[in-house]
Amino acid sequence: GESDPNPLASIAHYRQQHRRTEDGYLCSAAGVKDRFVFTGCTDMPSPDGSSGRSWCYLEPQLKPTTTSSNWGYCAPAVDYNRLRDYL
């Protein structure tokens, strides 16, 4: 068979949330680090080796041209059900 030119595309549609970085950029649907595949944000050590904060790769098509980094720390997830209850 033909190989998929973007092997992460097959798992990207399983994204549970559309998360953003602290800078407001959209997180990539899926990523691979150290042979571990993940969707959205992950708690594994970041590309710079730091631990303790969730991070994600930036969505490639929306990555700002003003930054050379391809990842960022994740903003807290929004609990929309709780927010709707509040309103």
Q: What is the DSSP secondary-structure string of 38-70?
A: EES-B-SPPTTS--SS-EEEBPGGG--TT---S
pLDDT (tens digit per residue) in 10-61: 555 555 667 899 999 999 888 889 888 888 899 999 999 999 999 999 987 7
Cα 38 → chain centroid? 8
pTM score of the predicted model: 0.69
Q: Using DSSP, state whether 84 is helix, strand or coil.
A: helix
Is 60 exceeded by the pLDDT of residue 8? no
What tokens were used for 47? Answer: 């590309």
* Residue type for position 54: S
Cβ atoms 46, 17 nearer than 8 A: no
- Segment holding 36, helix H or strand E: strand 36-39
